[in-house]
């Protein structure tokens, strides 16, 4: 065993720190544990060996050749470096934080599934839409039945949906149409048509408006066979995808419901403490249905029937959606959520 070789040979082998970011982070700490020459020299040896092994990625045999020690001795030195805390190994990845959020969302709200996109992207809509599309593709199959609501979040999902070969699949509306020009292509009939193209299947339209002129007209239309069968088909689907609308303090309920919100309905929304709406219906912070006069004029699948669908997922993101997301997750109607990491963390920490 070599014991008198000048230690400068070992010290000269210390290389500069690599700037590469990898999944394994190695921290090498320079301890000042003793003032004796022998202890300092041994510590320098440990540091030199550790840097060559973890920063320069040399094998133990290569290190032994450089410093003039045997390979078993190098192995013992590396073990000692770890035992003394000179080398600390941590495992990390940006996805780890998103996975942690998914687990917390599932536990907090009793969800069957949660998918959280990494937030280090400048295009959140694309990231969430892509993740939602991949998730739906994993749930579905050649005979899948999908039901869609409307909104910009669903448009992002359809845009990012991977092309499938599901010839016997069917996409149907769970709500009526907006009944106006939709430049963002976020209306339910258009979304269903485009989603069916992505899946390689067919779509079943619901050729009636979302909101009708009166409760009497809406009651009559609901008894039409095409409406009854389409909404029942939606309620029996394998996968239901919906967005969530945020409600402002003045009762305003976003662009989708804006044309139908009168001062009277907004007052009902405010008095009921509504913070969200799905399928046209309003809900308070506790997830309770806030019944307004608008409910009687809606042509939609009853939101509580989302709870009977195996995969009922809400797709949304952004700070303005946090109270609304928190509320609809408390309804118990939804089994799943797809969002981004920032929104997920905000929902988890939100206190109504």
Q: What is the pLDDT along the chain (352 residues), one digit of tens a residue?
A: 444 444 443 333 333 333 333 344 556 555 444 445 678 888 889 989 999 998 899 999 999 999 999 999 999 999 998 898 888 877 666 677 889 999 999 999 999 999 999 876 568 999 999 999 999 999 999 999 999 999 999 999 999 999 999 999 999 999 999 877 665 668 999 999 999 999 999 999 999 999 999 999 999 999 999 999 999 999 999 999 999 999 999 999 988 898 899 999 999 999 999 999 999 999 999 999 999 999 999 999 999 999 999 999 999 999 999 999 999 999 999 999 999 999 999 999 999 9
10 Ramachandran zone, left/alpha/beta (phi>0; psi -120 to 50):
alpha
Domain residues for 65?
Answer: 8-91
142/300 Cα distance (integer angstroms): 26
Specify whether 116 is located in the same domain as 241: yes
Q: For position 119, what pLDDT does the model report?
A: 73
Tell me: do 50 and 113 sit in the same domain. Answer: no
pLDDT of res. 122? 66
What lies within 8 Å, CB to CB, of 260 at 6+ separation is 211, 294, 297
Same-domain pairing of 331 and 189: yes
Q: Is residue 118 part of a domain?
A: yes
100 shares a domain with 67: no
Same domain for 166 and 77? no
Report pLDDT for 7.
41
Total number of domains constituting the chain: 2
For strand 170-173 and strand 311-315, is the pairing parallel, antiparallel, or unpaired?
Answer: unpaired
Instruction: Look at residues 91, 110, 142 and tell me which one is the last residue of a structural domain.
Output: 91
The reply to whether 70 and 146 lie within a common domain is no
Q: SS3 of 336, please? A: strand
- For residues 76 and 182, membership in a common domain is answered with no
pLDDT of residue 37: 63
- The reply to whether 225 and 245 lie within a common domain is yes
Question: Is 35 domain-assigned?
Answer: yes
Among 45, 71, 91, where does a domain finish? 91
pLDDT of residue 36: 59
| 311, 239 Cβ separation under 8 angstroms | yes
For residue 1, being part of any structural domain is answered with no
301 lies in the same domain as 335: yes
Give yes or no: residues 102 and 83 share one domain.
Answer: no
Among 351, 265, 148, smallest CA distance to 274 is for 265
On whether residue 2 sits in a domain, the answer given is no
Residues 66, 126 within the same domain: no
Relative orientation angle of helices 71-83 and 60-67, to the nearest 10 degrees: 100
Asked whether residue 3 is domain-assigned, the answer is no
Which of 91, 115, 150 marks a domain boundary? 91
Looking at the fold, whether 21 and 79 belong to one and the same domain comes out as yes
At 1 the pLDDT is 41
Q: Output Rg (C-alpha) for the chain, integer angstroms.
A: 30
Of 163, 227, 228, which Cα lies nearest the Cα of 196? 163
> What pLDDT was estimated at residue 120?
65
């Amino acid at each position: 065993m070599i014991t008198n070789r000048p230690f400068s040979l070992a010290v000269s082998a210390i290389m500069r720190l690599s700037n590469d970011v990898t999944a394994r982070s190695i921290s090498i700490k320079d301890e000042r544990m003793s003032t004796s020459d022998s202890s300092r020299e041994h510590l320098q040896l440990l540091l030199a060996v550790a840097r060559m092994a973890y920063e320069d990625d040399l094998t133990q045999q290569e290190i032994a050749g450089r410093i003039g020690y045997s390979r078993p001795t190098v192995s013992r030195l590396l073990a000692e470096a770890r035992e003394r805390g000179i080398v600390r190994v941590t495992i990390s990845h940006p996805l780890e934080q998103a996975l942690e959020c998914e687990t917390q969302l599932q536990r907090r709200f009793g969800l069957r599934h949660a998918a959280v996109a990494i937030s280090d992207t400048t295009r959140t809509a694309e990231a969430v839409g892509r993740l939602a599309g991949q998730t739906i593709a994993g749930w579905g199959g050649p005979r899948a039945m999908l039901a869609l609501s409307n909104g910009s979040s669903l448009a992002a999902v359809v845009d990012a949906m991977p092309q499938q070969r599901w010839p016997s699949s069917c996409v149907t509306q769970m709500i009526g149409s907006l009944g106006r020009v939709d430049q963002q292509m976020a209306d339910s009939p258009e979304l269903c048509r485009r989603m069916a193209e992505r899946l390689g299947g067919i779509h079943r339209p619901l050729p009636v408006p979302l909101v009708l002129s009166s409760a009497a007209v809406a009651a009559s239309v609901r008894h039409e066979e095409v409406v009854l069968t389409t909404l029942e088909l939606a309620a029996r689907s394998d996968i239901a995808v919906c967005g969530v609308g945020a409600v402002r303090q003045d009762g305003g309920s976003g662009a989708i419901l804006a044309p139908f919100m009168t001062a009277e309905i907004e007052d009902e929304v405010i008095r009921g403490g509504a913070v969200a709406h799905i399928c046209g219906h309003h809900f308070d912070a506790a997830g309770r249905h806030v019944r307004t006069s608008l409910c009687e004029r809606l042509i939609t699948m009853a939101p509580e029937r989302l709870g009977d669908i195996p995969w009922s997922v809400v797709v949304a993101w952004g700070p303005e959606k946090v109270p609304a997301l928190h509320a609809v997750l408390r309804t118990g109607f939804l089994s799943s959520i797809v969002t981004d990491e920032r929104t997920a963390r905000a929902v988890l920490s939100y206190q109504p």
